[in-house]
């Protein structure tokens, strides 16, 4: 009887672990349940609902899942990408601004973070702890506080312009100057308007000439701020990476007669590849999602040149009651971030295919 | 190999179950279904014993205190509890309230936001039920009317006028007789008042100021329900501004290093500014030593023109106690109460019966009220905010911009949302 009972139990519980291990899976699920529920309620469900909103005509009143809300297919996506109206142009402007922001911030902050990490990592440096704390300090300060600080520093008669004036330079009206940096450079060379090839054609409602305007002076101030605030965090990551590198390899290179410059590029940097990938990925994602600085600082102005997709998404939904378009912008942004991360992973892949 | 996949399936199942649970939970508590067909245009007001919540976007302590006092007084009288909340981001907090089905009962509502909320049924139209309905200025009522339905009671309004720094005016040898009444006179005094570190006339880089010149030349953005952004009048108005931005006698406040016109005037960065009623309180607070004169804006080739701004007391369709809310609105828009608000924080009463008392109490500010005779409104169509924001973005570089191109863009954007 016991034999048959055991056999039937085995038969019924096929795929379960026998004996003592039995019930472990259940216990495991119970232990992870709180996290699963929290992630589900606060992450998965909102994301799925936002995805639904981006395909619906929800107008912002009542539940988006109520029977009155209709499915409109890709209408919202069409409106922001090929609609030909203001929504499309705003999206184009936002992408343009943010692309320049990413293009400047990511390399600058990565280079600066690596530079600081190498400095702080040097055994000869006195008071390493102080420097490490000082460099990290901007990262732990609230971005709202730093934005306000930046608004003061870069105001027309602020500290930055005062210092520039001492040096005999008339500083720009930073956060009120919508002109593109590249356009300004070209203007000093006597080029006021682009060639017909660039001004006559465009993408997302913006001419190629406008795409090439570069970040506005106002956006440049935000670029400086991002580099200032995030380099500290990434410095810590690089520092951890540097301390993981065994000194033997470097010593071997020294014996081979490599100078400091060669050792950095040929020995240290290749070994930092995993850290570099992390820093670039985090930087890329953070930069494409820039929102709080814009919200507290400029609300997209001057001349929409600090408008970013994240802020535009908020603005379309909460201020213009175009909830579907706001959600659609968020998901297009999501796709852009994923594509760029995959591209960057491909570029940074090890040359010989070995990880 | 089979076990992990089996587990993964179970994991996905657990997540889905949790998600479904959470979804039903949301449907039950987070979002309340809209209260049936009694949304827009319904005349049946709800009634209950519920307390009222009033959400305001306050300009400062003076306004908060005045509104709170008025609501408390009504609460005492009616026996209905009411609480005033100050929003730090009014549009966002309103949107959240509407989505969650628990909006404030009454709230400040801007005309440009009216169409969007009216379309999705968030608002209870109650204008026709007001006892003092006929006392409101017709132009203000029109501003809060969507599809022939008068939605909400205008709470007050402001117009733009020319504000002059008396000291700088006198220092340039000008007298009361020199206050400009035409564009030519304005050009002349602006030039006389301009120095190396001061502009003659300053204003914000936005349609909400520059638009006065478009109106004075016979243009505007939307006139009589038609988009006229690229009309000859609009072009002439902007070209006049552009010319003077180029010769330095006009300037944008931001380019002078001031946050807005009032600050430019107070700091002496500009001798004249174009601002509304709010400028008086701000100048008294921030620059108590600055003496100023308020005059009507000079007339352009098509006559006088200015812009008018207003807000209304929006009522939520989901409010459980609309009858009490209506009674509170009638109290807040009464002659006596509006005069008290005007004294406390500056705007003009939205009802004609208060005009005489207001003029008597503010003899120096009559230019603001006189402007109401011919004032234009910013467009109020759904989507108009985005069009004006886009126009403002281009107006920032008006000095070097192409007027026809700027207004052409605005015109096509307006035509796209025209009703």
Strands (E), B166-221: 199-203
For residue B44, tell me if it sits in a domain. Answer: no
Q: Find the DSSP H helices in B42-165.
A: 61-78, 90-100, 111-119, 138-143
Residues B194, B265, single domain; the answer is yes
For residue B412, tell me if it sits in a domain. Answer: yes
pLDDT in tens, B99-109: 888 899 999 99
Q: Which residues contact A138 (CB under 8 A, 6 or more apart)?
A: A146, A228, A229, A231, A232
Residues B209, B263, single domain; the answer is yes
Scored b (16 or more CB within 10 A) or e, B350-368 reads bbeebbeebeeebeebbbb
Residues B166, B130, single domain; the answer is no
pLDDT in tens, B338-389: 999 988 888 899 998 999 999 999 999 999 999 988 999 888 888 888 889 8
pLDDT of residue B18: 44
B226 has which bridge partners?
B223
What are the distances in angstroms from CA A352 to CA A265, A348, A355?
18, 12, 9
Contact B26 A65 (CB under 8 A): yes
For residue B46, tell me if it sits in a domain. Answer: no
Best to test chain B binding among A44, A56, A62 (most B CBs inside 10 Å): A62
A233 or A6, which is more confident: A233
A70 token code pair: 């209709």
What gap in Å lies between CA A95 and CA A77, rounded to an integer? 15
Residues B167, B272, single domain; the answer is yes
What gap in Å lies between CA A47 and CA A53, rounded to an integer? 10
Domain that includes residue B388, residue range = 159-308+379-417
State the total domains in chain B.
2
pLDDT of residue B5: 44
Task: Specify the DSSP element, H or E, that contains A146.
Answer: helix A143-153
Confidence of residue A157 (pLDDT cuts 50, 70, 90): confident
Residue pair A218/A306 in contact (Cβ under 8 Å)? The answer is yes
Last-in-domain residue among B376, B392, B409: B376
For residue B32, give the DSSP letter: P
Q: What 3-state class would DSSP assign to A86?
A: helix
Decide if the complex's ipTM is over 0.95. no
What homologous superfamily is domain A86-180+215-347 in, according to CATH? Answer: MetI-like (1.10.3720.10)
- Per-range mean pLDDT, top range of A139-148, A160-169, A326-335, B374-383: A326-335
pLDDT of residue B14: 45
% of chain B surpassing 90 pLDDT: 56
Q: Which residues of B touch A303 (CB under 8 A)?
A: 393-394, 396-397
Residues B127, B177, single domain; the answer is no
A180 has which bridge partners?
A216
Res. A168: pLDDT tops 60? yes
Residues B181, B301, single domain; the answer is yes
Residues B166, B144, single domain; the answer is no
For residue B32, tell me if it sits in a domain. Answer: no
Residue pair A71/A55 in contact (Cβ under 8 Å)? The answer is yes
Q: How many helices (H) and strands (E) does chain B have?
A: 17, 14
pLDDT in tens, A79-92: 888 877 888 989 99
Is the peptide bond prior to A302 cis by the omega test (within 30 degrees of 0)? Answer: yes
* Vertex A209 angle, CA A208 and A212, to 5°: 85
pLDDT of residue A125: 67
B6 or A221, which is more confident: A221
pLDDT in tens, A267-282: 888 889 889 999 999 9
Nearest to B19 among A44, A63, A156 (CB): A44
CA-nearest of A261, A3, A17, A217 to A97 is A217
Q: Domain holding B218: CATH number?
A: 3.40.190.10
Confidence of residue B43 (pLDDT cuts 50, 70, 90): low
- CA nearest A15 in B: which residue? B3
Res. B163: pLDDT tops 70? yes
Residues B334, B393, single domain; the answer is no
Task: Specify the DSSP element, H or E, that contains B145.
Answer: strand B145-146
For residue B25, tell me if it sits in a domain. Answer: no
What gap in Å lies between CA B270 and CA B195, rounded to an integer? 9
Res. A14: pLDDT tops 60? no
Confidence of residue A261 (pLDDT cuts 50, 70, 90): confident
Residues B179, B291, single domain; the answer is yes
Contact B393 A61 (CB under 8 A): no
Contact B397 A85 (CB under 8 A): no
What is the average pLDDT score of chain B?
A: 86
pLDDT in tens, A182-218: 988 888 888 877 788 888 888 888 888 889 888 999 9
- The Cβ-side half-sphere exposure at A232, using a 13 Å CA radius, reads 16
Q: Which residues of B touch A40 (CB under 8 A)?
A: 15, 18-19, 22
Q: What 3-state class would DSSP assign to B159?
A: strand
- Give the residue carrying structure tokens 């649970």: B21
Nearest to B18 among A37, A63, A300 (CB): A37
CA-nearest of B71, B136, B88, B11 to B324 is B71
Nearest to B101 among A62, A300, A318 (CB): A62
The number of C-beta contacts closer than 8 angstroms across A and B is 122
Residues B102, B129, single domain; the answer is yes
- CA nearest A312 in B: which residue? B386
Scored b (16 or more CB within 10 A) or e, A210-232 reads bbbbbbbbbbbbbbbbbbbbbbb
Task: Specify the DSSP element, H or E, that contains B293.
Answer: strand B292-295
Mean pLDDT value across residues B195-224 = 92
Q: How far is A328 from chain B (nearest CA, A)?
A: 17
Residues B59, B103, single domain; the answer is yes
What gap in Å lies between CA A175 and CA A164, rounded to an integer? 16
For residue B30, tell me if it sits in a domain. Answer: no
Q: Which residues of B touch A156 (CB under 8 A)?
A: 254, 256-257
Q: Phi/psi of residue B293, each to 5°? A: -120, 140
- CA nearest B317 in A: which residue? A61
Contact B386 A320 (CB under 8 A): yes
For residue B173, tell me if it sits in a domain. Answer: yes
* Vertex B307 angle, CA B302 and B310, to 5°: 155
Residues B262, B169, single domain; the answer is yes
Q: What 3-state class would DSSP assign to B56?
A: strand
- CA nearest A299 in B: which residue? B389
Q: Which value, in Å, is the radius of gyration of the alpha carbons in chain B?
A: 25
How far does CA A250 lie from the centroid of its chain?
Answer: 33
For residue B298, tell me if it sits in a domain. Answer: yes
């Amino acid at each position: 009887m016991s034999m048959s009972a055991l056999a039937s139990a085995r038969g019924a519980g096929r795929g379960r672990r026998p004996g003592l291990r039995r019930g472990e899976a259940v216990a495991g699920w119970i232990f992870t349940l709180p996290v699963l529920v929290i992630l589900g309620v606060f992450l998965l469900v909102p994301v799925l609902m936002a995805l639904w909103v981006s395909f619906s005509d929800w107008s912002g009143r009542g539940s988006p899942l109520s029977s009155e809300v209709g499915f409109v297919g890709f209408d919202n996506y069409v409106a922001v990408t090929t609609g030909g109206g203001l929504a499309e142009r705003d999206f184009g402007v936002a992408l343009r601004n943010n692309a320049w922001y990413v293009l400047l911030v990511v390399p600058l902050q990565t280079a600066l973070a690596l530079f600081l990490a190498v400095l702080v990592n040097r055994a000869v440096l006195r008071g390493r702890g102080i420097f490490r704390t000082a460099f990290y300090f901007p990262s732990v300060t609230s971005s709202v506080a730093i934005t306000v600080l930046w608004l003061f520093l870069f105001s027309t008669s602020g500290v930055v312009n005062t210092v520039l004036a001492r040096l005999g330079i008339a500083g720009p009206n930073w956060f009120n100057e919508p002109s593109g940096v590249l356009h300004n450079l070209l203007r000093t060379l006597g080029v006021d308007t682009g060639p017909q090839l660039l001004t006559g054609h465009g993408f997302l409602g913006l001419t190629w000439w406008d795409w090439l305007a570069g970040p506005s002076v106002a956006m440049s101030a935000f670029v400086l701020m991002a580099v200032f605030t995030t380099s500290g965090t990434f410095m810590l990551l690089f520092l951890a990476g540097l301390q993981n590198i065994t000194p033997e390899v470097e010593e071997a290179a020294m014996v081979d007669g490599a100078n400091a410059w060669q050792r950095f590029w040929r020995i240290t940097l290749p070994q930092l590849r995993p850290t570099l990938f992390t820093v670039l990925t985090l930087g890329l994602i953070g930069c494409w999602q820039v929102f709080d600085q814009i919200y507290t600082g400029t609300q997209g102005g001057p001349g929409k040149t600090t408008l970013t997709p994240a802020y535009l998404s908020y603005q379309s939904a909460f201020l213009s009651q175009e909830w579907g378009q706001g959600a659609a912008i968020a998901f297009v942004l999501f796709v852009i971030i994923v594509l760029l991360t995959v591209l960057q992973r491909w570029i940074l892949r090890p040359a010989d295919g070995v990880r | 190999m089979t076990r992990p996949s089996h587990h993964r399936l179970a994991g996905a199942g657990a997540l889905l179950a949790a998600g479904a649970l959470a979804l039903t939970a949301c449907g039950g508590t987070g979002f309340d279904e809209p209260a049936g067909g009694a949304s827009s245009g319904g005349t049946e007001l709800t009634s209950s014993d519920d307390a009222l919540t009033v959400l305001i976007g306050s300009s400062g302590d003076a306004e908060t205190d005045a509104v709170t006092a008025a609501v408390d007084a009504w609460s005492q009288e009616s026996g209905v509890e009411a609480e005033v909340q100050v929003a730090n981001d009014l549009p966002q907090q309103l949107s959240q309230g509407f989505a969650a089905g628990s909006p404030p009962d009454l709230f400040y509502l801007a005309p440009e936001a009216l169409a969007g909320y009216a379309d999705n049924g968030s608002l209870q139209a109650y204008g026709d039920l007001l006892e003092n309905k006929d006392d409101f200025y017709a132009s203000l009522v029109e501003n809060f009317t969507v599809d022939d339905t008068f939605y909400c009671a205008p709470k007050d309004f402001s117009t733009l006028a020319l504000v002059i720094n008396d000291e700088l005016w006198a220092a340039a040898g000008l007298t009361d007789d020199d206050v400009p009444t035409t564009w030519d006179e304005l050009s002349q005094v602006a030039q006389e008042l301009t120095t190396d570190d001061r502009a003659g006339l300053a204003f914000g880089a936005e349609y909400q100021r520059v638009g006065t010149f478009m109106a004075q030349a016979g243009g505007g953005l939307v006139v009589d329900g038609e988009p006229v952004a690229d009309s000859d009048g609009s072009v002439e108005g902007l070209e006049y501004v552009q010319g003077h931005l180029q010769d330095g006698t006009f300037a944008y406040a931001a380019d002078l290093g001031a946050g807005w016109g009032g600050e430019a005037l107070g700091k002496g960065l500009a001798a004249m500014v174009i601002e509304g009623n709010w400028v008086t309180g701000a100048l008294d607070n921030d620059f108590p030593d600055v003496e100023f004169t308020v005059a009507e804006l000079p007339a352009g080739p098509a006559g006088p023109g200015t812009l008018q701004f207003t807000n209304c007391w929006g009522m939520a369709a989901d409010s459980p106690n609309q009858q009490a809310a209506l009674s509170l609105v009638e109290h807040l828009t009464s002659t006596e109460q509006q005069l008290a608000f005007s004294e406390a924080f500056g705007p003009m009463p939205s009802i004609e019966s208060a005009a005489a008392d207001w003029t008597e109490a503010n003899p120096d500010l009559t230019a603001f009220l006189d402007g109401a005779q011919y004032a234009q409104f910013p467009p109020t169509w759904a989507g108009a905010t985005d069009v004006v924001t886009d126009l403002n973005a281009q107006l920032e570089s008006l000095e070097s911009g192409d007027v026809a191109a700027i207004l052409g863009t605005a015109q096509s954007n307006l035509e796209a949302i025209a009703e």
